[in-house]
């Protein structure tokens, strides 16, 4: 059972400003290649009118520690005052392990916008069947068994031939 605690903190913002908060739940702070990461986004529009719906453009960008964007997607949301959103992003199985930065940019009409970032770690998958060393070791053991049984076959064949020629086992 998960307990979610929401805390409201007063924040001072100028009219027309966009406040953005992005969080990655703690259980997703360290994930493996090919898994999904969960993103919680909170967007608050600081505006005077409480009855006007505003369309905002939200852009999500996943970046490497060097700043190279590897995944980008966007959406348009209609917001009255605030919105909370949860998204799941499935990472590719060939993603390089390391620390990644998720950047969320929000742009509202009138060129006001906001940005927030969150980081998480991608770890290498460690399974026996995908491990190169395991594959090499299994191949060597298999080859040793094949050579052993071939040698055993030829020894058996030689013993049978000698028995046919009149030699007896001791």
* Region 60-71 average pLDDT: 89
The Cα 64–Cα 70 span in angstroms is 7
Residues 43 and 88 in one domain: yes
Query: What is the model's pLDDT at position 24?
Result: 93
Q: pLDDT band at residue 133, thresholds of 50, 70 and 90?
A: confident
142 in the same domain as 61: no
pLDDT of residue 2: 46
Same domain, 42 and 84: yes
- Does one domain contain both 21 and 74? yes
Q: Are residues 78 and 27 in the same domain?
A: yes
Spatial strand order in the sheet of 36-46: 17-23, 36-46, 82-90
The total domain count for the chain is 2
Same domain as 165, residue 98: no
CB 123 within 8 A of CB 31: yes
The C-alpha R_g of the chain, in whole angstroms, comes to: 31
**CATH number for the domain that contains residue 114:** 2.60.40.3880
Which residue range(s) make up the domain with 155?
127-170
Residues 54 and 100 in one domain: yes
Q: Where are the beta strands (DSSP E) in 24-129?
A: 30-32, 36-46, 54-63, 69-79, 82-90, 98-108, 112-123
For the segment 9-28, the average pLDDT, to the nearest whole number, is: 75
- 8 A C-beta contact, residue 24 and residue 102: yes
Domain-embedded: residue 6? no
Q: Which two tokens stand for residue 163?
A: 């028995």
Query: Does residue 4 lie within any of the structural domains?
Result: no
The answer to whether residues 38 and 75 belong to one domain is: yes
Residues 153 and 73 in one domain: no
**Whole-number pLDDT of residue 42:** 94
132 and 115 belong to one structural domain:
no
Query: How far is residue 73 CA from its own chain's centroid?
Result: 16
Q: Which H or E run contains 143?
A: helix 132-164
For 6, the token pair is: 């929401």
Predicted local confidence at residue 7, as pLDDT:
47
The Cα-based distances of 63 to 31, 69, 105, 160, 161 in angstroms read 16, 4, 13, 70, 71
Does residue 27 fall inside a structural domain? Answer: yes
Is residue 47 in some structural domain? Answer: yes
- One domain for residues 44 and 109: yes
pLDDT surpasses 90 at 14: no
- On the question of pLDDT at 71 being above 80, the answer is yes
Residues 71 and 103 grouped into a single domain: yes
């Amino acid at each position: 059972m998960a307990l979610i605690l929401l805390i409201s903190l007063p924040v001072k913002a100028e009219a027309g400003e966009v406040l953005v908060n992005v969080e990655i739940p703690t259980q997703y702070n360290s994930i493996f290649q090919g898994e999904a990461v969960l993103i919680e986004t909170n967007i608050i529009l600081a505006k005077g009118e409480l009855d006007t719906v505003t369309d905002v453009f939200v852009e999500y960008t996943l970046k490497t520690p060097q700043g190279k964007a590897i995944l980008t997607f966007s959406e348009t949301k209609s917001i009255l005052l605030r919105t909370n959103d949860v998204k799941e992003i499935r990472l590719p199985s060939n993603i390089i392990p390391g620390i990644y930065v998720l950047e969320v940019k929000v742009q509202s009409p009138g060129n006001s916008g906001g940005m927030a970032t969150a980081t998480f770690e991608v770890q290498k998958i460690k399974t026996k069947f995908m491990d190169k060393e395991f594959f090499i070791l299994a191949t060597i053991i298999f080859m040793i068994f094949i050579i052993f049984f071939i040698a055993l076959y030829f020894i058996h064949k030689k013993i049978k031939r000698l028995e046919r020629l009149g030699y007896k086992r001791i």
